[in-house]
Amino acid sequence: MATAAPLDMSVPASPAAAPSARMRHARLSPWAAFRTFWPLVSGNRTAVLVSALLLVVSAGCDAGAIGIAGQLTDDVLTPGDLSAFWDPAALWLGLAAVGAVTSTAGGYLSGWTSEHFLLGLRDRVFRHLQQLPPDGLDRYGTGDLVSRLTGDVEVVETLIASAPVELLTSAVGALVFAAAALRTSWQLALITFAAAPLIWIGARVFGTLMRSATREERDSNGRLASLLEESLANMPVVQAYSRQEAERAKVHREGRDWMRAGLRQIRLSSVYGPLGELLETVSVLTVIGAGAWQISAHHLSVGGLLAFSAYLGYLHPRLQELGELVVGASSATAACERLIEILRTTPTAPDTAPRPDVPLPTGPVCGAVTFEDVGFAYPGGLRPVLHGVRLDVPPGLLVAVTGPSGAGKSTLVGLLLRFYEPSRGRILLDGLDIAALPVDEVRRHITLLPQESMLFDGTVRENIVYGRPDATDADVWAAAAAADAHDFVTALPDGYDTPVGRRGNSLSGGQRRRIALARAMLRTAPVLVLDEPTAGLDDGATARVMAPLRRLAAGRTTFLITHDLRLTAQADLILHLADGTATSTVPGGAVARGA
């Protein structure tokens, strides 16, 4: 598939803007939504055009076949002349064959384009989500994001990839059958065309109503998905506190809201469809009555009336399809708005192209880290989280970062990892400003061991090599041994090829922690960030990870977020954060020089 042009997200938004519980979206017209996402289809414009032309040819074959049917009625059936049957029959069969081939090819090519659009759009949105900081993702909720990446993406496809083909084929098909009807009887055709404006007006009215109903339904679906994801993930706490009934009530309320939004859509669809059919029935009866009069006056043959009725049978569905496209486009716009909301959320720390005046590291990175008067405030925050932080850490030092909850400990290391950009000041890595380096270049030299031992649904080996996919078996075994994990891994049923389950649920907490340690060991980056590495472990499990932690930190510049006095006692420097300011001391209580 050809590379698509960048999506135009020209309307600015605040970085990592937090959507409200009842999300409000920028109102877009269907045309504006179409222009926003069309670049993802533009690489396959030839396929879109060819599929539409094939379907138009198929419609032309249907129109030709109807004309032949009328001719057979007048020239073969009415006079009973079998000799006049063969030539029209052969032509009809040929048109049917061509129509079948073009319809099949056009339908497949249209579906191919739609599926490639789905893949490209989902990849584009997911890639953007990967660039957002952790708190930016949390503001949406995992369930709601999954809903947008699945249901909303599929709805958007109906507007961007399928609608152009359907619009062209329906419009051209309507023109073809309208022209054939005019050629057969212009009086009857004018009676039929009188219903077209009513169909269009009805489509516009119902489209506006359906757009509002669909927006409400998609938002409600996302809220329900997020609530279910949160409740299921926290089920042990729910059960331990006997809060099952309260959770059921919350799920029921959100599900009821979703049901009501869905019923509103159903009501609109239930009214729109029958109204169109009623209008079509009135038109058909009027045509039959007028046609009977024309036959009695010898202005129209029986075959002509049958052909006209067949043209009408093909024309009305095309007009209905055009009306449904208007309704569907308005409905799909709500899903477009939800995806655009994500794509307009700019990363707090956008990627940076290499600057000529800031060369990339050419030799080994030693791991010297410097904070120069660093301050930071979250977007919309009432006050800075950090201000005036100064710290100079030589390579290989272990820095224990302590302080009360909310003091900015995680924010400090988030700035180092470029999850966020400082509001003021600079952070240097071996003397280079990390804001001037590509994000991947910065993170290549930093290993993160988060508080929660995050494992993926795969084997033990796959989880250990996650940060270094080219590692050999010997490297994996050495890292596991250094993390005190090799013995228990080899005792598993399939050793390193044993599946760990979703989030590592087939392993104990201590085992998950040691697998995560082995993954960090294998990465060999010069800077290490440890976030509460012993939190949630009992004394026995803590004792088993202490030695691997010391081996992991050896020779690396290590930032250790912890409240564990056993770990702070081993630090070369203790950085205490409080009220946004930092005070550094050496073990024993002396204030460190240069702090």
Domain membership of residue 316 (yes or no) is yes
Distant-in-sequence, close-in-space partners of 86: CB < 8 Å, separation ≥ 6: none
Q: Indicate whether 332 and 424 sit together in one domain.
A: no
- Asked if the structure places residue 594 within a domain, the reply is no
> In Å, how far are 46, 134, 348, 423, 445 from 426, measured between CA atoms?
49, 21, 15, 9, 18
Domain shared by 408 and 318, yes or no: no
CATH number of the structural domain spanning residue 457? 3.40.50.300
Domain CATH for 61? 1.20.1560.10
Place of tokens 């061991």: 449
How far, in Å, are 18, 226, 350, 529 from residue 131 at the CA level?
Answer: 16, 21, 7, 20
Out of 303, 326, 343, a domain closes at: 343
Q: What's the whole-model pTM score?
A: 0.67
In a domain, 528, yes or no: yes
Q: Maximum CA pair distance of the chain? A: 116
In a domain, 23, yes or no: no
Has residue 541 been placed in a domain? yes
Q: What is the pLDDT of residue 110?
A: 82
Could you tell me which of 71, 8, 17, 35 has the C-alpha nearest to residue 347?
17
Q: Are residues 334 and 412 both part of a single domain?
A: no
Q: Is 305 inside a domain boundary?
A: yes
Same-domain pairing of 508 and 554:
yes
8 Å CB contact between 333 and 28: yes
pLDDT computed for residue 594 by the predictor: 38
Instruction: Return the SS3 of 375.
Output: strand
Q: Quick one: pLDDT at residue 228?
A: 76
The pLDDT of residue 2: 43
Domain contains 409: yes
Cα distance between residue 254 and residue 325, in whole Å: 30
Please give the tally of structural domains in the chain: 2
CA 306 to the chain's CA centroid? 51
What is the mean pLDDT of each successive set of 10 residues along the chain, which is 595 residues long? 49 41 55 80 78 81 74 69 76 84 85 84 85 74 80 82 78 76 72 66 69 75 76 67 77 83 76 66 67 66 68 70 72 81 74 54 79 85 82 89 84 88 89 86 86 82 88 89 87 90 81 86 86 73 73 85 78 85 68 40
The answer for 24, left when phi > 0, alpha when psi is -120 to 50, beta otherwise, is beta
Token digits of residue 380:
């919309």
Q: Looking at the structure, do residues 453 and 338 belong to the same domain, yes or no? A: no
Tokens coding 233: 């993930």
pLDDT given for residue 137 in this prediction? 73
Is 280 in the same domain as 398? no
Indicate if 277 and 417 belong to the same structural domain. no
Q: Where are the alpha helices (DSSP H) in 344-431?
A: 409-416
Nearest Cα to 40, choosing from 125, 121, 123, 111?
121
Same domain as 516, residue 478? yes
CA angle 129, 130, 132 (to 5 degrees): 65
What sections of 139-243 are H helices per DSSP?
Answer: 142-147, 153-157, 163-184, 186-193, 196-233, 235-240
The reply to whether 493 and 561 lie within a common domain is yes
Answer whether residue 354 is part of any domain. no
**Residues 15, 346 contacting (CB under 8 angstroms):** yes
Whether residues 298 and 422 share a domain: the answer is no
Strands 573-578, 398-402: parallel, antiparallel or unpaired by DSSP? parallel
Q: Look up the domain containing 81 and give its range.
A: 30-343
Q: How far apart are the first and last CA of the chain?
A: 55
Q: Is 159 in the same domain as 275? A: yes
Whether residue 319 is found in the same domain as residue 400:
no
DSSP 159: I
Pick from 274, 309, 343: which residue ends a domain? 343
How far apart, in whole angstroms, are the C-alpha atoms of residue 478 and residue 475?
Answer: 5
